[in-house]
Structure 1
């Protein structure tokens, strides 16, 4: 039974080529949501400490949401585009080497497999068979750690960050607007803490990290940001 369970677990593991790309934009989405929650919460709580005017809080929060979402999307697009350009350049170089020096590339691939623990004869046989099947794919994966069929997609990452930031930012913005002025700050803090626990859990699960540490690190960072901005807003509000 244990052996069967192990086999079932292995079959459940994701092996499709696009999994790595999906994981990248999922991580971008989780990080975007966390940024949206913390930055917008800090902004609206800081403004709420300075004024009780709902329209002022809404205007500041909405401006922060739009600016933050656009900034996240543009930053992610530029970052992932740079990564994709580097991957494309490496693949172009590999194609040229395969075309101009096929024997040297075959020997290099065999040596890489031998370094992984295969015997010289088996490493050569594997290199020959994989080169015959998909020379670029074999070399790109083994030498460069790149899957030519699953390159990073800048627009996917940008949209994931934009949408996730917007959703995350809406949590503190809505929380602080729907309650009475006296309850705005505590209700927003509770909503933000819950949201940060969820994003911390999600990021830990996606990266196979310690769940508890990621969750409480998220919460601690969010609480620190809200405390600092609330203090600034309170001090400014009493002087204006």
Structure 2
């Protein structure tokens, strides 16, 4: 037996529920923007290159840990909330199976399924309580109880990608260059490349995605540079 064209296409779909892409993208972009802006701020204030490296390294470590912990906690909490709602739905199915079946049939009928057929299918599901629970949770909560993202995957994706992103604007200083402009240029290139890579997963134009990230990062960098410049000038005058 050969697979249908629809089944073959299904095998080529990206994994949108694994929980790694969103924290990875968020971590990389946050690492880039945070450290580019941080370096621009202290560099604009006129600190020595060694202090720029120290500030950037501290921002990398603190930010990566914060991102990892934040992602783990948020995904874990969301999964626990889903589990709590699934438990509620299980109790409802045990206590009021008839009413739950009618509710499910009504939802299907509202989408265009003939009412008689909707009733038949909804009541047939009662013979398989676990499958009935999965269907009810998908219909009422819009989630798949058996396919929740991993908090560990989210945490490590975010931590690792933040670290990589935050290291990019530090690269020139680590290599011995002391030009703030060069560091910011490399950071801007990193933003553009990161945005272009994301376009690979979203089927968007790579140059638009890269340009968007570059513009957003440039705006944040410009603000922090001006703040650093003003504080540096004020400190010198004081």
Structure 2 length-normalised TM: 0.83
Q: 1:109 corresponds to which residue? A: 104
Shift of 1:158: 1.7
Contact 1:44 1:176 in 2 (8 A): no
The answer to which of 78-87 and 143-152 deviates more is 78-87
Among 175, 178, 203, the residue aligned to 1:178:
175
Q: 1:3 corresponds to which residue? A: none
Question: Per-residue displacement from partner, 1:102-160 (whole Å, max 9, x unpaired)?
Answer: 11111111111111211012212332444434111111111111111112332221221
Structure 1 CA distance, aligned partners of 2:116 and 2:205? Answer: 42
Q: 1:163 corresponds to which residue? A: 160
Shift of 1:101: 1.1
Structure 1 CA distance, aligned partners of 2:26 and 2:160? Answer: 11
Question: Per-residue displacement from partner, 1:189-225 (whole Å, max 9, x unpaired)?
Answer: 2322222123323445545667555433311121122
Contact 2:31 2:165 in 1 (8 A): yes
Q: Counterpart of 1:37 in 2: which secondary structure? A: helix
**1:106-145 residue pairs with structure 2 within 5 A?**
106-133=101-128, 134-145=131-142
Q: 2:38 corresponds to which residue? A: 43
Contact 2:97 2:126 in 1 (8 A): no
Give the helix-richer structure, 1 or 2.
1
Q: RMSD across aligned C-alpha pairs, in angstroms?
A: 2.6
Q: Counterpart of 1:83 in 2: which secondary structure? A: helix
Is 1:148 aligned to 2:145, yes or no?
Answer: yes
Q: 1:68 corresponds to which residue? A: 63
Task: Report the count of equivalent residues.
Answer: 229
**1:1-240 residue pairs with structure 2 within 5 A?**
10-14=9-13, 19-22=15-18, 24-51=19-46, 53-133=48-128, 134-181=131-178, 184-204=179-199, 206=201, 213-238=208-233, 239-240=235-236
Contact 1:176 1:187 in 2 (8 A): no
Structure 2 CA distance, aligned partners of 1:10 and 1:39? Answer: 39
Contact 2:191 2:210 in 1 (8 A): yes
Structure 1 length-normalised TM: 0.82
Mark the runs of 5 or more structure 1 residues left unpaired by the alignment: 1-5
Task: Quickly say closer, same or farther: Cα 1:209–1:124, change in 2 above 3 A.
Answer: farther
